[in-house]
């Protein structure tokens, strides 16, 4: 299943860090135990003695677009942030949960262990870690990612082909990891929740020796589910150190390992129609996963960064990241629907699935300033080499398809087969080499221009479902141009344009087994941004438009593999607008709200991808008093979605939280999600092709206690 470092590596690193820091508790600290937000605190990071956290809801400076730190107002695109305050106060321990709170992102949970993400109607394929881009394998997330190791999550809307591997017009998600701090500190929390949830989390940081700082995060969680038989266990270890090699050089080394084990996961989901085409209405808890089904996902991340200050105005960076995910599963898929009256007609088949995906990125760049006339030109230039390898195999059950009882009475009790049937899979390797350069120039006091250019070469080779793959893309150029004009001290207008370049997912092959030509096109955005409340909050309004060609469509089913093959040539057009407000609206109230409208059509002006809502609204607010009381709520609304003859009407999800500082360093917190107990399908992403979807969770509750030290 591929090479991976032993599971004990990180615990061996973590324990000495804890022991050493525990002996230095006497280190001088100046801790403010009040977690209330300060309207006048405008720095990007608030350092409260022992730890660094992004407290405000307003988006921080970000380098996700151009590797140049730009404030949200200076960036000619829409951007939003899920801050550490939101992650903590609303108990957003999983990336899927967190992104449901973000502006314009739709979390498409098609089954329990596979999730797609869409924005502006298109799939999100770009994930970044500390600004280094890694495309999602197959365009989806297997299992989940625990958020305990992240300080914040940034979502850059629109195409981003300069710093990310691909320039898809959806969005880029940038995970900003927690960093070591000079002062000793940390926290320990214990939580319980609905469906037998137990969670223990520890975070500790501080100076180890002179010039050496460390941070360690550990998580253990176990929970049943609103879904029958489903159970998940998660373990996470994260460790990072910063070392001052010299006064001009800093070395960062880090690693994480996450292990997730699930019992009775679903493969596919519930049929949304009966055999006569009428909609089904199963119980929310109905789960297609049998008793014997399981999925194990182990993910390891290694990363290193060397920063050297060449002079007062120039610095060089080397970043290396390696990701390895091993998956092992036994699954069962429902291949038919049932009769509405008798419940007869359901059939299914089992499969064993193993996969190893490896992604490595080497990024070398320099940034600094040049004088252009009487103006400073900020410049970044670099090169990036990345390698992605996918090795997976599916092995069929020797029983083939078998009859299954009605899902209205299904209890998951079905014979576990032997997986000795035919097998198929992939053994693919992609190499991507890029040269890039970005620049920022303040043309006048009120006009800011940003620009970028990326040159790419992509090589894909291997085997995909018994077909040889050998595809090259050479000298692909992606340009970017943005302008921000300050109309007043508070109000700015912006515009940006870039090219869309998005290689097809590795399972999108022709009948002859070759990858389709990349998707291409153009993306445009214009809008306004306004500072409010003494720059403690930022409002924005943006219009966007994209034109995309070479979109894949199913051309047929292979007689040999039974899998679909594709052809490219579809043209998609999307346009819409986004309204956002984030930050402090009073010394005690933080807010993060957005409204997004998007419509996608084909060349015949027919609306497509209707599994995406045309309109979404998000509102999250947090009140913190000077007496240690915190109150917050979140409201998420989307309008109807449809697939074939079935549609789901608009629905609203409401969450709430309350916290109280019992002592200076002890906080109690209670959370409630979906308090109206709304029943809804999580996604219709697959419903148009296989008539399947499943329901989201009902009302749920949790409570935790946190000790800050």
Report the 10 Å Cβ neighbour count for 664: 12
CATH number of the domain encompassing residue 651: 2.40.170.20
CA angle (106, 678, 92) in 5-degree steps: 50
Q: How far apart are the first and last CA of the chain?
A: 41
What does the alpha-carbon distance between residue 49 and residue 28 come to, in Å, rounded to a whole number? 9
Q: Helix or strand or coil: residue 322?
A: strand
Beta-bridge mates of residue 576: 544, 598
Beta-bridge mates of residue 546: 523, 574
Question: How much is the pLDDT for 299?
Answer: 97
Beta-bridge mates of residue 174: 128, 154
CA-closest candidate to residue 695, choices 192, 379, 280 = 280
Question: How much is the pLDDT for 90?
Answer: 97
Question: How much is the pLDDT for 682?
Answer: 97
Instruction: Tell me the two tokens of residue 138.
Output: 């197959």
DSSP summary character for residue 249: E
Q: How many residues does the chain have?
A: 709
Helix, strand, coil % over all residues of the chain, rounded to 5: 5, 60, 35
What does the alpha-carbon distance between residue 633 and residue 89 come to, in Å, rounded to a whole number? 10
Number of H helices, E strands in the chain: 4, 38
Beta-bridge mates of residue 543: 526, 577
CA 9 to each of CA 21, 216, 255, 300: distance values in angstroms, whole numbers, following the listed order: 19, 13, 9, 11
Position 307 in a domain: yes
What does the alpha-carbon distance between residue 185 and residue 200 come to, in Å, rounded to a whole number? 17
Decide if 98 contacts 153 (C-beta within 8 A).
yes
Residue bearing tokens 């720095």: 43
CA-closest candidate to residue 195, choices 300, 285, 86 = 285
DSSP summary character for residue 143: S
Position 36 in a domain: yes
Contacts 24+ apart (CB under 8 A), 562-569: 563/424, 563/465, 563/507, 565/509, 565/510, 565/511, 566/504, 566/508, 566/509, 566/510, 566/516, 567/510, 567/516, 568/504, 568/516, 568/517, 568/519
Number of domains into which the chain is organized: 1
Position 527 in a domain: yes
What burial letters (b/e) apply to 669-696, b meaning 16+ CB within 10 Å? Answer: bebbbbeeeeebbbbbbbbeebbbbbbb
Position 634 in a domain: yes
Question: How much is the pLDDT for 96?
Answer: 97
Q: Could you please report the per-residue DSSP string of 35-71?
A: ----TT--SSSEE-SS-EE--SSSPPPB-TTTSS-B-
Question: How much is the pLDDT for 564?
Answer: 74
What are residue 312's phi and psi, to 5 degrees? -65, -25
Position 672 in a domain: yes
What does the alpha-carbon distance between residue 283 and residue 673 come to, in Å, rounded to a whole number? 19
Question: How much is the pLDDT for 559?
Answer: 62
Residues of the chain whose pLDDT is less than 50?
Answer: 1-53
Question: How much is the pLDDT for 41?
Answer: 35
Question: How much is the pLDDT for 324?
Answer: 96
What does the alpha-carbon distance between residue 375 and residue 365 come to, in Å, rounded to a whole number? 23
Domain extent at residue 250: 9-708
Position 2 in a domain: no
DSSP summary character for residue 421: S
Position 3 in a domain: no
Position 616 in a domain: yes
CA-closest candidate to residue 1, choices 394, 391, 323, 294 = 391
Cα Rg, the chain, nearest whole Å:
25
């Amino acid at each position: 299943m591929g090479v991976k470092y032993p599971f004990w590596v990180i615990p061996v690193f973590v324990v000495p860090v804890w022991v050493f820091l525990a002996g230095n508790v006497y280190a001088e600290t100046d801790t403010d135990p009040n977690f209330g937000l300060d309207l006048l605190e405008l720095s990007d990071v608030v350092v409260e003695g022992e730890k660094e956290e992004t407290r405000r809801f307003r988006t921080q400076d970000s380098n996700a677009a151009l590797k140049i730190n730009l404030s949200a107002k200076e960036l000619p695109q829409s951007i939003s942030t899920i801050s550490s305050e939101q992650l903590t106060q609303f108990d957003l321990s999983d990336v899927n949960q967190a992104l449901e709170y973000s502006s314009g992102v739709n979390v498409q949970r098609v089954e329990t262990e596979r999730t797609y993400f869409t924005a502006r109607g298109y799939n999100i394929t770009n994930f970044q870690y500390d600004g280094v881009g890694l495309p999602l394998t197959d365009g989806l997330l297997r299992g989940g990612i625990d958020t305990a190791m992240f300080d914040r999550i940034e979502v850059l809307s629109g195409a981003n082909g300069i710093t990310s591997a691909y320039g898809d017009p959806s969005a880029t998600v940038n995970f900003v990891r927690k960093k070591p701090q000079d002062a000793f500190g940390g926290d320990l929390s214990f939580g319980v929740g609905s469906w037998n949830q137990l969670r223990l989390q520890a975070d500790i940081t501080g100076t180890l020796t002179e010039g050496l700082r460390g941070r360690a995060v550990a998580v253990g969680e176990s929970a049943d589910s609103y879904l029958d038989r489903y159970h998940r266990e998660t373990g996470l270890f994260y460790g990072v150190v910063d070392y001052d090699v010299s006064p001009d050089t800093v070395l960062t080394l880090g690693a994480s390992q996450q292990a997730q084990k699930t019992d009775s996961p679903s493969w596919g989901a519930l049929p949304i129609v009966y055999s006569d085409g009428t909609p089904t209405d199963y119980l929310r808890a109905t789960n297609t996963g049998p008793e014997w089904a399981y999925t194990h996902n182990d993910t390891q991340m290694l990363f290193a960064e060397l920063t050297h200050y060449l002079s007062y105005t120039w610095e060089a960076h080397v970043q290396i990241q390696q990701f390895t995910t091993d998956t092992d599963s036994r699954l069962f898929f429902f291949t038919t629907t049932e009769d509405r009256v008798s419940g007869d007609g359901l059939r299914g088949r089992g499969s064993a699935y193993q996969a190893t995906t490896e992604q490595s990125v080497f990024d070398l760049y320099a940034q600094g300033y040049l004088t252009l006339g009487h103006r400073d030109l900020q410049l970044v230039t670099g090169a990036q080499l990345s390698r992605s390898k996918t090795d997976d195999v599916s092995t069929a059950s020797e029983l083939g398809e078998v009859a299954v009882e009605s899902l209205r009475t299904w209890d998951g009790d079905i014979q576990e087969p032997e997986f000795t049937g035919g097998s198929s899979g992939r053994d693919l390797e992609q190499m991507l080499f890029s040269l890039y350069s970005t620049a920022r120039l303040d043309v006048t006091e009120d006009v800011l221009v940003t620009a970028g250019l990326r040159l790419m070469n992509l090589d894909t080779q291997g085997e995909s479902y018994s077909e040889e793959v050998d595809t090259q893309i050479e000298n692909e150029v992606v340009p970017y141009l943005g302008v921000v004009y300050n109309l007043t001290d508070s109000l700015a207008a912006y515009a940006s344009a870039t090219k869309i370049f998005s290689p097809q997912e590795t399972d999108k092959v022709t009948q002859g087994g070759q990858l389709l030509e990349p998707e291409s096109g153009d993306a445009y955005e214009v809008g306004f941004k306004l500072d409010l409340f003494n720059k403690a909050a930022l409002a924005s309004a943006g219009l966007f438009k994209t034109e995309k060609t070479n979109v894949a469509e199913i051309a047929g089913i292979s007689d040999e593999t039974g899998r679909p093959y594709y052809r490219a040539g579809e043209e998609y057009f999307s346009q819409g607008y986004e309204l956002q407000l984030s930050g402090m609206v009073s010394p005690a109230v933080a807010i993060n709200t957005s409204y997004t409208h998007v419509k996608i059509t084909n060349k015949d002006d027919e609306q497509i991808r209707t599994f995406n809502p045309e309109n979404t609204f998000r509102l999250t607010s947090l009140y913190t008093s000077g007496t240690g009381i915190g109150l917050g709520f979140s409201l998420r609304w989307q309008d109807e979605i449809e697939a074939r003859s079935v549609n789901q009407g608009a629905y609203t999800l409401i969450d709430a939280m309350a916290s109280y500082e019992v002592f200076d360093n002890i906080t109690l917190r209670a959370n409630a999600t979906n308090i109206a107990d709304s029943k809804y399908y999580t996604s219709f992403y697959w419903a148009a092709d296989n008539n399947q979807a499943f329901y989201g969770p009902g009302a749920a509750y949790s409570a935790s206690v946190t000790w800050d030290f």
